[in-house]
């Protein structure tokens, strides 16, 4: 999708601006209101100004837009506000405002600045490494012995590739990423700054002399189209691979232990921690801060609520929440019961005070 540019009032520069009618055409939206409305930024509704385009996905946001200064909004069909001025404002009605927002953001987000094609003079590339000439290699990148770096890979400043590492075609590793020995990245993998792929797993044997480190002889396998957030760590397997399946998206500050097997199309949100040998089925979603015990299996399309502690296997398609995690309906019943604990405790205290008096009265009544 192309982005229309309208000249700014200052002839020495231009700023991106969009007319409502042009946006409607680009988004395949139904235009309601003035086609002449011009916006120059895309903002969330609570931050929208008098030249902001914003988005409405439900009735709550619809009511809020009528009170906001935003002159133009993309709105999911059926959520249009009741009262607004079509002479001064515009609505772009679509089937799904979130999908329209994604399309628009793709058009207006500036591309990440990449190094030029070739290797920066400060890059250290082992002579035995195989690096495609189309690659872009930034300052102070280190590429170890027998690495394979395929076509159109981008390695930003201070990326480090260990011996025999493989980076698939079209992948991009942002500044400071470390890929340890023998680890393999598929095609179009995106890894954000300071992530570490292939550190040793956390395994020790207790002895009278203290913990003894267990060697981890495996590797990490990242399949095609995976995205990995900043400062995430994925440990190598003890035997064989730690695997992340095709199309999975992993947020920042996630810890994935040795020999985990993560399926395709999963979502793992920030600050999750997966112990060793956890299995996550295709399409599962782990919300922020989830912790998972070692050797637990999360079924395909299962969902785990934020800050949950998972101690047991979760069946396919189920939603679990809580600490410890339980099926969501059970956890909600427990929480509802907890809110009544003060009332129940008061009733118990009244009962225990009354019981001795009742016993005494019964005893006196039974005396001759």
pLDDT at 5: 34
pLDDT at 10: 40
Q: Give the whole-angstrom CA distance, residue 125 versus residue 178.
A: 15
Residue spans per domain, the chain: 6-108, 118-329
Overall residue count recorded for the chain in this entry? 368
Q: If you search the block for the tokens 């405790």, which residue do you land on?
A: 345
pLDDT tens figures, 87-142? 999 999 999 999 999 998 888 888 899 999 999 999 999 999 999 999 999 999 99
Average pLDDT over the chain reads: 92
DSSP 295-340: T-EEPTT-EE-TT-EE-S-B-TT-EEETTTTEEHHHHHHHHHHHHT
Q: Phi then psi for 275, rounded to 5 degrees?
A: -70, 180
**pLDDT: which is higher, 11 or 219:** 219
User: Percent of the chain, pLDDT > 70?
Assistant: 92
Evaluate if residue 8 carries a pLDDT over 60.
Answer: no
Can you tell me the mean pLDDT for 201-206?
A: 95
pLDDT tens figures, 31-52? 999 999 999 989 999 999 999 9
pLDDT at 95: 97
pLDDT tens figures, 240-266? 999 999 999 999 999 999 999 999 999
Q: Which of the following CATH numbers is that of domain 118-329: 3.40.50.300, 2.60.40.1180, 3.40.50.150, 2.160.10.10?
A: 2.160.10.10
pLDDT at 12: 36
CATH architecture classification, 6-108: 3-Layer(aba) Sandwich (3.40)
Q: Report the catalytic residues.
A: 258
Residue 358 is encoded by which pair of tokens? 């009742």
The pTM for the full model equals 0.86
């Amino acid at each position: 999708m192309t982005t229309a540019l309208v000249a700014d009032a200052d002839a020495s520069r231009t700023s991106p601006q969009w007319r409502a009618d042009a946006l409607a055409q680009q988004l395949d939206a139904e235009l309601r209101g003035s086609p002449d409305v011009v916006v120059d930024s895309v903002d969330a509704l609570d931050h929208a100004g008098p030249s902001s385009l914003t988005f409405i996905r439900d009735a709550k946001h619809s009511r809020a837009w009528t009170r906001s200064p935003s002159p133009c909004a993309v709105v999911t069909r059926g959520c249009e506000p009741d009262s607004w001025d079509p002479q001064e404002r515009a609505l772009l009605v679509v089937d799904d405002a979130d999908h329209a927002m994604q399309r628009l953001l793709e058009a207006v987000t500036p591309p990440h600045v990449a190094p030029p094609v070739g290797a920066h003079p400060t890059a250290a590339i082992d002579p035995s490494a195989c690096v495609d000439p189309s690659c872009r290699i930034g300052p102070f990148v280190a590429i170890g012995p027998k690495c394979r770096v395929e076509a159109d890979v981008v390695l930003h400043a201070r990326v480090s590739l260990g011996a025999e590492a493989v980076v698939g075609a079209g992948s991009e590793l942002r500044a400071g990423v470390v890929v340890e020995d023998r680890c393999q990245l598929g095609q179009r993998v995106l890894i954000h700054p300071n992530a570490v792929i292939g550190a040793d797993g956390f395994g020790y044997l207790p002895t009278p002399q203290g913990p003894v480190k267990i060697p981890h002889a495996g590797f990490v396998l990242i399949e095609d189209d995976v995205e990995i957030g900043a400062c995430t760590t994925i440990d190598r397997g003890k035997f064989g691979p730690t695997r992340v399946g095709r199309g999975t998206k992993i947020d920042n500050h996630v810890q994935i232990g040795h020999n985990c097997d993560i399926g395709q199309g999963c979502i793992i949100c920030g600050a999750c921690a997966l112990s060793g040998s956890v299995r996550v089925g295709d399409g599962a979603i782990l919300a922020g801060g989830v912790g998972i015990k070692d050797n637990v299996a999360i079924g395909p399309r299962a969902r785990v609520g934020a800050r949950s502690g998972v101690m047991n296997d979760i069946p396919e398609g189920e939603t679990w929440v809580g600490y410890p995690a339980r099926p969501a309906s059970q956890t909600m019943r427990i929480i509802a019961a907890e809110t009544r604990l003060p009332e129940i405790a008061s009733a118990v205290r009244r009962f225990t005070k009354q019981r001795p008096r009742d016993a005494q009265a019964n005893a006196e009544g039974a005396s001759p």
